[in-house]
């Protein structure tokens, strides 16, 4: 049995027969601060993921990882850029695994295929960190560069789940993929994205993520109209919402 809990944005916690893991576990969510310790304690204190996957290293995905690693000793599987940011913040090498495009991770009862993907929109050329300059100020959003972008194909307990953290995909690595559940970022999607999804991916069910007002704390959770707009373009799209902060079984 596979169950998922959504913490807003692309922050997801999975439980399956072999254990548990998280993707992009960011909960600090503030209009003025990148990291909010009270929010970390409130929502991540009970989480004990065997490992964590990271789609990319923007400020609304990565910054709560030092807290989670310090608390649980978990391992982060992420891009070179994301791992370099973590190193700059004092995370030890034993807790980091730099991903490569196409890499396949095998855990008890779970296979993860790490797919090359893309962020929505035109990204600046300096979106990577080969090394992080000394005295980089990680209290500002601009310091959290996007880095290399991944989507994850998850095969567990007889189900295939595909997750991407932004409203874009990379056709050379993703065209023709099929899954039971598509959990995909739809934040402020642009013209052409609906066709990109439906003409290149095959899925039985879709759950839109990353379409909430993510500068508000989870106690003030509210959705934007991204999924409504998507269904206006694709009336037959088999898409639904996840209840936030509740476990949902994927069947």
The predicted-structure confidence for 96-136, as pLDDT tens digits, reads as follows: 999 999 999 999 999 999 999 999 987 777 899 999 999 99
pLDDT band at 17 (very low <50, low <70, confident <90, very high): very high
- What domains, with CATH codes, occur in the chain? 2-132+139-250 (3.60.15.10)
pLDDT at res. 123: 74
What would the two tokens of residue 241 be?
Answer: 């919402």
pLDDT at res. 146: 97
C-alpha separations of 134 from 89, 138, 143, 155, 176 in Å: 11, 11, 12, 40, 43
Average pLDDT over the chain reads 97
Percent of residues, the chain, with pLDDT higher than 90 = 98
Q: Give the Cα separation of 112 and 156 in Å (integer).
A: 9
pLDDT at res. 177: 98
pLDDT at res. 119: 96
H/E segment holding residue 44: helix 37-44
25, 6 Cβ separation under 8 angstroms: no
CA atoms within 13 A on the CB side of 23: 29
Task: Compute and round to an integer the Cα radius of gyration of the chain.
Answer: 17
Q: Give the Cα separation of 96 and 13 in Å (integer).
A: 19
Q: Give the Cα separation of 70 and 92 in Å (integer).
A: 10
CA atoms within 13 A on the CB side of 144: 18
User: What is this structure's pTM?
Assistant: 0.98
What would the two tokens of residue 91 be?
Answer: 């995370």
pLDDT band at 23 (very low <50, low <70, confident <90, very high): very high
pLDDT at res. 120: 94
pLDDT (average), residues 77-100 = 98
pLDDT at res. 164: 98
Say what the alpha-carbon torsion angle 10, 90, 83, 88 is, to the nearest 10 degrees: 110
Q: Which residue carries 């039971």 as its tokens?
A: 180
Nearest Cα neighbor of 7 from 53, 56, 43 is 43
Contacts of 35 (CB under 8 A, 6+ apart): 28, 63, 64, 67, 139
pLDDT at res. 125: 78
Q: Which residue carries 């295939």 as its tokens?
A: 160
pLDDT at res. 121: 87
pLDDT at res. 126: 85
pLDDT band at 240 (very low <50, low <70, confident <90, very high): very high
pLDDT (average), residues 182-188 = 97
């Amino acid at each position: 049995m596979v169950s998922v809990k959504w913490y807003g944005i692309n922050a997801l916690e999975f439980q399956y027969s072999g254990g548990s893991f998280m993707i992009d576990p960011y909960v600090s969510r503030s209009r003025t601060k990148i990291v909010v310790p009270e929010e970390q304690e409130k929502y991540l204190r009970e989480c004990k993921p065997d490992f964590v996957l990271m789609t990319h290293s923007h400020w609304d995905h990565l910054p709560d990882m030092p807290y989670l690693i310090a608390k649980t000793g978990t391992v982060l599987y992420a891009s070179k850029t994301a791992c370099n940011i973590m190193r700059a913040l004092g995370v030890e090498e034993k807790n980091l695994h730099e991903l490569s495009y196409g890499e396949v991770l095998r855990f008890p009862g779970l296979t993860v295929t790490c797919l090359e993907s893309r962020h929505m929109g035109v990204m600046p050329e300096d979106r990577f960190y080969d090394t992080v300059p000394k005295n980089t100020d990680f209290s500002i959003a601009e310091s959290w560069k996007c880095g290399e972008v991944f989507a994850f194909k998850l095969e567990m307990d007889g189900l295939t789940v595909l997750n991407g953290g932004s409203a874009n995909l990379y056709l050379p690595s993703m065209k023709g993929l099929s899954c039971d559940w598509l959990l995909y970022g739809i934040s402020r999607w642009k013209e052409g994205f609906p066709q990109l999804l439906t003409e290149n991916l095959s899925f039985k069910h879709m759950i839109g993520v990353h379409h909430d007002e993510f500068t508000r704390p989870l106690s003030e959770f509210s959705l934007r109209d991204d999924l409504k707009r998507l269904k206006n373009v694709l009336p037959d799209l088999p898409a639904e919402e996840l209840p936030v902060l509740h476990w949902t079984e994927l069947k």
